[in-house]
Amino acid sequence: MRTDILTGMSQRVTTPDSGLHWRRMEPERIARSNADDAYQAIRRSIVTVEMPPGTAFTENELVKRVGLGKTPVREALLRLKLENLVAVQARSGYRVAPVTLKDVRDTCRLLGCLEAQVTEQAAADPLAHARLEQLQAQARHGAETDRAGETSDGWVRGDWQFHVGLARGQDNQLQADVMTRLNQLVLRFRYLALKLGVPGHLLAHQHDDLLAAVVAGDQAAARKATEAGWRETEAGLLGLLSATESVQSTNVWGAADKNAFYLDAVPAGPAPTDVFEPGLTRQTRQQPPVEPSTTA
């Protein structure tokens, strides 16, 4: 066995003519791999709500959590900031970005538009029918394991695989990438719903009408079923978050304006908007007063 004296690491590879041997792993590849590992680990914790919305943390805390150095963790945080999953807090480190009601609404509506195009095309493609049936079978299996108490997120993971598989089955790679990223946001919403006590398997019927229309080759019905499914998802998530009186364990923040004022009482003025803030029960947000114009 040969170990690289510069990095202390070695890599085993196989080639057709020489069998197994060891070669040096380039330092750049090691650094890239570590950064990717840190990114995946932190992102998984955020999406599955192991790190709930609003959670404050420091870089050193993440280094201990993921077991990697500061450089890969710092690179991972830069990527997560670009995805709006992490926010910087002045003089106090970072915070997991809140989930807003506007996030849920905008994401579901955009996905409804994009996915309706894809399912309409899939209905005209016999090869897509079998693929979607297989994806739906996986989602149903996840729901069954949830009902049996073997898993708590089987359907959530199956739903994710269904929608991402649908997105990646099209020819437009750019649209597929956009839809995959949007579905990653929905995955976080789904885990948040689980955290609030809503079993995922109760939603296992959501793909049925869509799949039936696609397999029947009915493009119009496939589009209609897709749009209806996302309207149902949006309404369910918004209703769940809006009806939640206490969110101390999940820190849902439903304000569209993250710099808004938070008041215990509702003074005279514009109509308030429901807001959820970390560690508090439901409050109302009063819009800041409009300053009178001083110009002629």
Report the distance separating Cα 44 and Cα 225, nearest Å.
Answer: 30
Q: How far is CA 186 from CA 4, 59, 64, 293, in A?
A: 43, 26, 28, 42
In sequence order, the 6+-apart residues with CB closer than 8 A to the CB of 271 are none
Give the residue range(s) of CATH 1.10.10.10 domains in the chain: 30-96
- Read off the pLDDT of residues 166-186 as tens digits, 9 standing for 90 and up: 999 888 999 999 999 999 999
Specify the pLDDT at position 149. 87
- Read off the pLDDT of residues 175-230 as tens digits, 9 standing for 90 and up: 999 999 999 999 999 999 988 888 777 777 889 999 999 999 999 999 999 999 99
CB 94 within 8 Å of CB 57: yes
User: Is the pTM for the entire model greater than 0.75?
Assistant: no
Report the distance separating Cα 195 and Cα 192, nearest Å.
Answer: 5
Report the distance separating Cα 96 and Cα 135, nearest Å.
Answer: 31
CATH of 101-242, one of 1.20.120.530, 3.90.1150.10, 3.30.70.20, 1.10.3720.10: 1.20.120.530
30-96 CATH fold: Arc Repressor Mutant, subunit A (1.10.10)
What is residue 68's three-state secondary structure?
Answer: coil
Residue 12 phi, psi dihedral angles, 5° rounding: -95, 135
DSSP assigned state of 57: E
Give the residue range(s) of CATH 1.20.120.530 domains in the chain: 101-242
In this prediction, residue 27 has a pLDDT band, given cuts at 50, 70 and 90, of low
Report the distance separating Cα 255 and Cα 115, nearest Å.
Answer: 27
- Read off the pLDDT of residues 233-258 as tens digits, 9 standing for 90 and up: 999 999 888 776 433 334 454 444 33
Here the tokens at position 113 are: 């538009």
